[in-house]
């Protein structure tokens, strides 16, 4: 700073502080009709700084030339290419020329951001590129590395805004590799850009320098996550989201609830990919970190103050949301496992079960440990709590009832938690979705249960939780939900009916069924048919007219329901031939409907291929049976 008097320097520093203040603080109060007033003022100050630096600091001859040359160089090549160069070529960052380039570059950077903020993108781009060009003459060093990263972050945002995602990607990926190389080769806390324009006593501590630098890189990760998302590279995008979260936690730059919800959301992504270990880790971290947001204020406290009430509401809601993510974890892992283990008619395939159990060997877990180290969340104080939460539920697919049950119980526990907040009154749809998940948990668990009677009881639990709600809900406002519930109830009754029969057959062996069993069976059969019918009725017009055309989203459900109703009617056990005849006719009617509908609407056939084929067969065969029954009835008369 040979050629600048300390007074002049102080003036520059003041201007800079002013410009920062205008940009960050004042600009928030700008009036609607002059929204960039403060930013324009800041821009003027930055320009003045730039001119001052240019005129006052030509420095000691030769070393300065480098900077000038690089400034004059036109854009003959894209700025970002091999990172190698930045660590070897040019003059060192702490030389006078290097420092001068960094300072000028920083002013260009701030001018660039200023122009972008005020919607003058091309001018912004020019300044940012000037910054890059100035730095091109310098080697990466603690004095300038922060500017290297910040500048590219901004260029990344700028190009992405123009829909030039690949260009953005280039800048951001270069920023990433510069960071990594710098941390590997140097790693000392770099100068923050604001420090270029502070007087000696205002230098930052090492800790603060590191914090700011790391934050800039966290932003690089955050932007790259979006770039990859926009490019359709979801897997990579997820990794970068994960890294962003990891870094936020590591450098303690996060708000606990926001972080926890983001981690919980990420868990849902992993779940869809079947990566339960990652999903579990995210959820455990989400639960632990959400705890850092503090205790939920008591109801009494909430009544006292509006702030507390708001806080209570927020905390309860978000924790309940995290619980719901846990429910989905448990549910999905059970369902995935079921898919893997079921045979062609949806029963547990024990051969497959043995095979999978054998395959689940040590190495699998070893491999998971390797994967795990790359994704760990947590600081020293949270690490243990996260790990202990993880231990409470498995992340491998459960392969037998004991394992399935342990997952189920965890899920059920979260159901209780989630329901505490999402109560029926006020949160109808949420509450019901949780109940549906609870029912689905039972359904998955029942698959693993070998004892038929206990299996039956599990389905009964499903009925008990869903049936009252289906009855209670306003049919008009909750049409869609009720349709879902009707279908599920119909299927559950059907399932119970099958189980009762299996049980009866097993006990009675070859003997015919006793009256009590028949009564029970018929009850379940009718209940199932009733709900399928209710579903079908919900599709009718207010006058009860069956729609001529089924909307796409109800097409398959409606035809399947018809098919099932047909089936159920033919399964009713009637001792009286007349009643039997009646049932068979109803059955035929419904099979016919499926066939006729598909004839009238050929596009529907593809939706219900198997059902249609079977219905056609039955439409041909049932009349024979009906006729035989009629003949027998006449003969008996």
Partner 1 sequence: MYVNSSGAQNGSYSLTFLGKKVGRHHSVAPAGKQLAWETTVRTTQDPVVSSRAGQVPVAAQVLDDLPGSVPEIREQRPCPIIHNTQLDQYDNNTAGKIRVFCRVRPVSRIEAAQSEAIVVHKVDDFSVTVETPRGQREFQFDKVFGAEASQEDLFHDTNRLIQSAIDGYNVCIFAYGQTGSGKTYTMVGDKEQKNPGIMPRSFNAMFDIIQQNSNKFDFKVSAYMLELYNDRLQDLFVSQSGEAHAQPQSHGQAKRVEIKRNRKGVVFAQGAETKEASSAQELYALFQQACANRHISATKMNVESSRSHLIVGIMVESKNMTNGSVNTGKLSLVDLAGSERAAKTGAKDHQLKEANSINKSLSALGDVISALSAELPHVPYRNSKLTQVMQDSLGGNAKTLMIANISPSECNLDETLTSLIYATRVKAITNNAQRNVESKEIAHLKEVIIKLKSGQTVEEEDV
208-237 residues near partner 1, rule: CB under 8 A? 215, 218-219, 222-223, 225-227, 229-230, 234, 237
The CA-atom distances, in angstroms, between 118 and each of 34, 40, 132 are 11, 8, 21
- Name the one range near partner 1 by CB under 8 A: 177-185, 399-407, 445-453, 490-498: 490-498
535, two tokens: 């579903």
Beta carbon of residue 9, minimum distance to partner 1 (angstroms, whole number) = 27
Where in 593-612 is the site for partner 1 (CB under 8 A)? 610-611
Closer residue to partner 1, CB minimum distance, 101 or 550: 550
- Locus of tokens 């730059």: 253
Work out whether 327 is an interface residue with partner 1 (CB under 8 A): yes
Query: Which residue, 107 or 168, is less far from partner 1 as judged by CB?
Result: 168
Q: How far is the CB of 452 from partner 1 (least distance, A)?
A: 14
- Applying the rule CB under 8 A, the residues between 514 and 573 that interact with partner 1 are 521, 535, 539-543, 545, 547-549, 551-554, 556-557, 560-561, 563-564, 567, 570-571, 573
Give helix 96-117 / helix 6-24 axis angle, nearest 10°: 30
Contact predicate 145/161, CB 8 Å? no
**Minimal distance in Å, beta carbon 395 to partner 1?**
16
Q: Which helix (H) or strand (E) holds 626?
A: helix 609-636
Q: Which of 196, 377, 478, 493 binds partner 1 (CB under 8 A)?
A: 478
Find the shortest distance in angstroms from Cβ 542 to partner 1: 4
Return the residues of window 328-347 that contact partner 1 according to CB under 8 A.
Answer: 328, 331-332, 344-347
Is residue 452 near partner 1 by the rule CB under 8 A? no
Does position 192 interact with partner 1 (CB under 8 A)? The reply is: no
DSSP symbols for 325-338: HHHHHHHHHHHHHH
Applying CB under 8 A, does 487 fall inside the site for partner 1? Answer: yes
Residues in contact with partner 1, counted by CB under 8 A, come to a total of: 118
DSSP state of 511: S
Is 369 among the residues that bind partner 1 (CB under 8 A)? no
Q: Checking phi first, is residue 378 left (phi over 0); if not, alpha (psi -120 to 50) or beta?
A: left
Residues forming beta bridges with residue 91, ordered by sequence position: 138
User: Considering the complex, what minimum distance in angstroms separates the CB of residue 468 from partner 1?
Assistant: 10
Q: Is 168 in the site for partner 1 (CB under 8 A)?
A: yes
What Rg do the C-alpha atoms of the chain give, in angstroms? Answer: 35
Shortest distance, CB of residue 530 to partner 1, whole angstroms? Answer: 16
Residue 223 CB, nearest distance to partner 1 (Å)? 5
In the complex, the smallest distance separating the C-beta of residue 269 from partner 1, rounded to whole angstroms, is: 5
Please choose, out of 86-94, 349-357, 379-387, 486-494, the segment that lies near partner 1 by the rule CB under 8 A: 486-494
Q: What is the nearest approach in angstroms of partner 1 to the Cβ of residue 401?
A: 20
Q: Which is nearer to partner 1, 336 or 368 (CB)?
A: 336
Considering only 261, 456, 496, 534, the residue that binds partner 1 (CB under 8 A) is 261
* Nearest to partner 1 of 301, 554 (CB atom): 554
Please work out, in degrees rounded to the nearest 5, the angle formed at the alpha carbon of residue 553 by the alpha carbons of 552 and 556: 80
Cβ(194)–Cβ(206) below 8 Å: no
Contact segment (CB under 8 A) with partner 1 among 54-62, 263-271, 293-301, 379-387 equals 263-271
Residues 1-40 that bind partner 1 (CB under 8 A): 24, 28-29, 32
**CB closer to partner 1, 167 vs 406:** 167
CA dist 156 → 83, 173, 465 (Å):
17, 9, 52
Question: Maximum Cα–Cα distance for the chain, whole Å?
Answer: 125
At 368, list the tokens: 């998971």
Q: Nearest Cα to 592, choosing from 568, 617, 573, 557? A: 617
Instruction: Report angle CA 265, 270, 275 to the nearest 5 degrees.
Output: 150
* Contacts with partner 1, 290-319, as mask; x by CB under 8 A: ----------------xx-xx--x---xx-
Q: How far is the CB of 580 from partner 1 (least distance, A)?
A: 9
Which helix (H) or strand (E) covers residue 236, if one does? helix 234-250
Closer CB to partner 1, residue 201 or residue 509? 509
Q: How far is the CB of 139 from partner 1 (least distance, A)?
A: 28
DSSP H helices in 514-576: 515-537, 552-571
Closer residue to partner 1 in complex, CB, 57/430 = 430
For 342, phi then psi, to 5°, come to -90, 150
> Which residues are CB-neighbours of 568 under 8 A, at least 6 positions away?
494, 525, 526, 528, 529, 532
Residues 397-436, one symbol each (x = binds partner 1 by CB under 8 A, - = not), give ---------------------------xxxxxx-------
Residue 284 binds partner 1 (CB under 8 A): no
Closer by beta carbon to partner 1, 90 or else 156 = 156
The whole-angstrom separation of Cα 169 and Cα 302 is 48
Q: How far is the CB of 309 from partner 1 (least distance, A)?
A: 6
The C-alpha atoms of residue 457 and residue 442 are separated, in whole angstroms, by 10
To the nearest whole angstrom, how small is the minimum distance from the Cβ of residue 258 to partner 1? 7
Cα–Cα distance measured from residue 415 to residue 267, given in angstroms and rounded to the nearest whole number = 17
Distances (CA, A) of 267 to 140, 242, 271, 291, 558: 38, 10, 6, 18, 34
As measured in angstroms, the least distance from the Cβ of 535 to partner 1 is 8
For partner 1, give the closer residue by CB, 71 or 342. 342
Interatomic CA distance for residues 534 and 544, integer angstroms? 12
Nearest to 221 by CA among 159, 189, 158, 175: 175
x/- mask, partner 1, residues 118-157, rule CB under 8 A, reads --------------------------------------xx
**The only residue of 81, 161, 274, 294 in contact with partner 1, by rule CB under 8 A:** 161
Sole binder of partner 1 in the list 480, 508, 546, 606 (CB under 8 A): 480
Q: Output 67 or 149, the one with its CB closest to partner 1.
A: 149
C-alpha distances in Å from residue 427, one per residue of 308, 318, 559, 594: 21, 14, 32, 38
Structure-derived torsion over alpha carbons of residues 241, 243, 248, 252, reported in degrees to the nearest 10: 160
C-alpha to C-alpha distances, 357 to 260, 342, 353, 367, nearest whole angstrom: 34, 15, 6, 17
């Amino acid at each position: 700073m040979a050629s600048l008097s300390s007074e002049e320097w102080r003036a520059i520093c003041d201007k800079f502080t002013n410009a920062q203040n205008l940009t960050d603080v004042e600009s928030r109060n700008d009036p609607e009709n002059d929204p960039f007033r403060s930013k324009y003022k800041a821009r003027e100050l930055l320009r003045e700084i730039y001119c001052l630096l240019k005129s006052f600091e030509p420095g000691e001859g030769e070393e300065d030339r480098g900077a000038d040359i690089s400034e004059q160089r036109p854009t003959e090549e894209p700025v970002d290419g091999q990172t190698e160069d930045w660590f070897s070529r040019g003059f060192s960052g702490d030389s006078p020329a290097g420092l001068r380039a960094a300072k000028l570059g920083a002013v260009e950077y701030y001018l660039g951001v200023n122009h972008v903020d005020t919607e003058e993108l091309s001018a912004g781009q020019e300044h940012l590129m000037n910054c890059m060009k100035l730095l091109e003459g310098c080697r990466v060093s603690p004095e300038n590395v922060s500017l290297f990263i910040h500048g590219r972050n901004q260029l990344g945002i700028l190009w992405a805004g123009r829909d030039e995602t690949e260009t953005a990607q280039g800048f951001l990926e270069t920023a990433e590799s510069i960071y990594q190389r710098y941390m590997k080769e140097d790693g000392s806390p770099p100068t923050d850009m604001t420090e270029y324009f502070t007087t000696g006593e205002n230098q930052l501590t090492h800790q603060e320098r590191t914090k700011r630098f790391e934050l800039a890189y966290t932003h690089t990760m955050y932007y790259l996550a979006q770039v990859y998302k926009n490019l359709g590279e979801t897997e990579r995008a997820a990794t970068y989201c994960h890294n962003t979260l990891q870094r936020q936690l590591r450098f303690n730059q996060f708000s606990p609830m926001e972080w926890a919800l983001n981690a919980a959301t990420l868990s849902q992504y992993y779940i869809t990919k079947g990566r339960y270990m990652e999903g579990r880790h995210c959820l455990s971290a989400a639960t632990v970190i959400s705890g850092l947001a503090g205790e939920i204020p008591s109801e009494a406290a909430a009544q006292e103050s509006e702030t507390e009430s708001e806080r209570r509401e927020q905390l309860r809601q978000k924790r309940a949301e995290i619980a719901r993510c846990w429910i989905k974890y448990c549910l999905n892992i059970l369902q995935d496992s079921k898919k893997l283990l079921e045979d062609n008619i949806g029963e547990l395939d024990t051969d497959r079960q043995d095979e999978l159990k054998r395959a689940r060997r040590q190495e699998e877990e070893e491999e998971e440990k390797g994967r795990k180290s790359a994704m760990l969340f947590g600081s020293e104080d949270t690490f243990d709590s996260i790990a202990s939460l993880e231990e409470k539920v498995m992340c491998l697919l459960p392969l037998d009832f004991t394992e399935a049950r342990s997952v189920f119980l965890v899920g059920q526990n979260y159901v209780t938690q989630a329901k505490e907040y999402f109560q029926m009154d006020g949160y109808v749809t949420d509450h019901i979705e949780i109940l549906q998940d609870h029912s689905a948990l039972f359904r998955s668990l029942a698959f693993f249960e070998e004892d038929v009677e206990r299996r039956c009881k599990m389905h009964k639990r499903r009925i008990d939780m869903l049936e009252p709600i289906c009855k209670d809900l306003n049919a008009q406002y909750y049409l869609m939900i009720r349709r879902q519930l009707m279908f599920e109830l119909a299927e559950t009754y059907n399932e119970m009916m099958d189980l009762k029969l299996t049980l009866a057959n097993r006990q009675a062996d070859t003997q015919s069924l006793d009256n009590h069993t028949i009564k029970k069976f018929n009850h379940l059969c009718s209940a199932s048919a009733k709900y399928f019918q209710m579903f079908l009725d919900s599709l009718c017009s207010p006058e009860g007219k069956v729609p001529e055309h089924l909307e796409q989203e109800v097409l398959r459900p409606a035809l399947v329901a018809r098919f099932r109703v047909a089936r159920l009617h033919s399964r009713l056990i009637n001792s009286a031939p007349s009643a039997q005849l009646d049932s068979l006719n109803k059955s035929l009617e419904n099979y016919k409907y499926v066939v006729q509908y598909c004839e009238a609407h050929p596009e529907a056939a593809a939706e219900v291929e198997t059902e249609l084929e079977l219905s056609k067969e039955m439409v041909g065969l049932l009349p024979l049976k009906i006729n035989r029954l009629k003949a027998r009835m006449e003969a008996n008369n």
